[in-house]
Amino acid sequence: MPTIRLKPKAEARAIRHGFPWVFANEVVTDRRTRAIAPGTFAQLEEHDGRALGLVTVNPASKIIGRMMDRNPEAQIDQAWIAAKITHALAMRTALYDTPHYRLVHAEADGLPGVVIDRFGDVAVIQPNAAWAEVNFDLIAGALADVTSVATIIRNGSGRARSLEGLPEVTELARGTLDGPVPVPMNGATYMADVLGGQKTGLFFDQRPNHAFAAKLAKGGTMLDVFAHVGGFALAALAGGATQALAVDSSAPALALAEAGGKASGMGDRFETLQGDAFDMLQKLADEGRRFDTVICDPPAFAPNKPALDAGLRAYERVARGAAALVAPGGYLGLCSCSHAADLTSFRNACARGIGRAGRRGVILHTGSAGPDHPQLPQLAESGYLKAVFFRLD
């Protein structure tokens, strides 16, 4: 097994205390290290030769090493992976009544760069690190053994893979699939396109925020902007909202939202509107529309630090446009999945936008991802989701 070694000035203490990544500028990158094939397992040593653990190496990534096991002699095989999945499954089955959840949340569940979302007998694996790409069949085999899922999708798309130097590929790896998968959640039925939809087809991370927003919307009207497959809108209708309008730029996503509304028996109270979110916010304002609850859950406007300033301006713009559509005494929920934008910065951008709309608000609640998205304390990136709910004057 190859060895990679930290430079003398590299901070080994953070790794000993649980930080899971080793950056390329922290190791001796000689010719031998650069020749290691992406996804290879190696022993990580301090500059004086003391062992720190077993890592997976990718010289093509800024994260050259990801900690796999504190035991430098560990054997990473299907049994090792199955043990990690079994440990993750025990928590999810204790928390959820139905088998619909994020089963593996990467580093926080001990499988670096691996995301697994479960939709009953269907599971989607995102192998976002080189070792997971190389060992995909082992991961799929361990998943099938532990959970008995019949259908497994390989979703190799997204920014994380490009940073690892991995190609994009999405395919049916095991089993059969007839179409979108119905997913019961918060009293509604969602339709997840696990082969052609965004990410894995559904955003489980917003589940508790959907539920909170549904309480606010009970007995009133809701506007769900950047709605995808109707996450907030369908939960609100299930919780007693009188009407909901879902806005998104994607026609296929809105078609799934409409199918979910019909499957939930709420199609007569549910509308969709396709178009650019900013344009639709202005259109609704020009029409004089007002809603008792408005929710905006945009994509990551600040996916990294260089994009932070522009991203915060975009969040401010969303808040301004959305606040203008909230009825007096109504509620506004604003979300961010940008890990580069911390909670304080995001909240301040929202407050500026609300103020620029001529409104005043108080914060009722701040939400995050559900417990099937555990956060690794040493890795801020694992706590990416923020949802801030305001009541406006």
Q: Are 390 and 334 in contact (CB under 8 A)?
A: yes
The confidence score (pLDDT) of residue 11 equals 78
Dihedral over alpha carbons 374, 380, 383, 389 (to 10 degrees): 150
Q: Which domains occur in the chain, in start order?
A: 3-69 (2.30.130.10), 78-174 (3.30.750.80), 182-392 (3.40.50.150)
Of 93, 65, 69, 64, whose CA–CA distance to 80 is shortest? Answer: 69
Rounded (to 5) percent helix, strand, coil in the chain = 35, 30, 35
Q: What is the pLDDT of residue 38?
A: 96
Cα–Cα distances (Å) from 124 to 82, 107, 116, in that order, read 16, 17, 6
**This model's pTM is above 0.85:** yes
pLDDT in tens, the chain (393 residues): 999 999 998 878 889 999 999 999 999 989 999 999 999 999 999 999 999 999 999 999 999 999 999 999 999 999 999 999 999 999 999 999 999 999 999 999 999 999 999 999 999 999 999 999 999 999 999 999 999 999 999 999 888 899 999 999 999 999 999 999 999 999 999 999 999 888 899 999 999 999 999 999 999 999 999 999 999 999 999 999 999 999 999 999 999 999 999 999 999 999 999 999 999 999 999 999 999 999 999 999 998 899 999 999 999 999 999 999 999 999 999 999 998 999 999 999 999 999 999 999 999 999 999 999 999 999 888 889 999 999 999
Measured distance CA(335)–CA(332) in Å, rounded: 10
pLDDT given for residue 9 in this prediction = 83
**Is 296 a residue of the active site?**
no
pLDDT at 60 (0 to 100): 93
Query: First vs last Cα of the chain: how many Å apart?
Result: 64
């990473």: which residue's tokens? 76
Which ranges constitute the DSSP H helices of the chain?
Answer: 12-16, 31-34, 78-95, 130-134, 136-147, 159-163, 207-217, 231-238, 251-263, 277-286, 308-323, 343-356
At residue 159, the pLDDT reads 86
Specify which residues 333 forms β-bridges with: 295, 389
User: Burial level of 286, CB count in 10 A (0-12/13-18/19+)?
Assistant: exposed
Residue 18: both structure tokens together? 């649980």
- Tell me which of 296, 335, 337, 350 is the catalytic residue: 337
